[in-house]
């Protein structure tokens, strides 16, 4: 099983739509979870951390289910500027120092006018 798995997409959604991305991780010892955003031909940038109780940042909501080892990202009222690849990130891999991160391959989102 891969460490972090994501649906690669692409997700093509109209402006204003709500879209959800899912991610599963294999390391049950992972304690820290993140969503990064990567624009085409650019570097990844931290979008938000994911907390156990779920957290919201404007139009973005992240959820964590430790029992199912599942992370989600919900984007409401999609904007054209949300078009990017969204990377699910978990600390690990198994046996590594806690300062290492494992990245999913990313889910590509295209918001269409």
The one among 24, 78, 91, 107 contacting other proteins by CB under 8 A:
91
Contact code string over 24-63 relative to other proteins, x by CB under 8 A: --------x-x-------xxxxx--x--------------
Whose tokens are 């989102």? That residue is 109
Distance of alpha carbon 59 from alpha carbon 68, whole angstroms: 25
The burial class, CB within 10 Å (0-12 / 13-18 / 19+), for 72 is: middle
Q: Is 101 in the site for other proteins (CB under 8 A)?
A: yes
Closest C-alpha among 69, 73, 67 to residue 54: 73
Q: Is 97 in the site for other proteins (CB under 8 A)?
A: yes
* Residue 112 C-alpha from the chain's centroid: 20
Q: Is 93 in the site for other proteins (CB under 8 A)?
A: yes
**Which residues form the interface with other proteins (CB under 8 A)?**
32, 34, 42-46, 49, 87, 91, 93, 97-101, 103-106
């Amino acid at each position: 099983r891969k460490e972090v798995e994501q649906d690669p997409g692409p997700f093509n959604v109209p402006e204003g739509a709500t879209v959800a991305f899912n991610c599963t991780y294999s390391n049950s010892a992972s304690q820290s979870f993140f969503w990064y955003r990567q624009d085409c031909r650019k570097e990844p940038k931290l979008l938000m951390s994911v907390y156990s109780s779920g957290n919201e940042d404007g139009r973005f909501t992240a959820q964590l289910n430790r029992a199912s080892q599942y992370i989600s990202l919900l984007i409401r009222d999609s904007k054209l500027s949300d078009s990017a690849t969204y990377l699910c990130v978990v600390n690990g891999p198994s046996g590594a120092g806690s300062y290492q991160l494992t990245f999913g391959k990313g889910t590509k989102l295209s918001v269409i006018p």
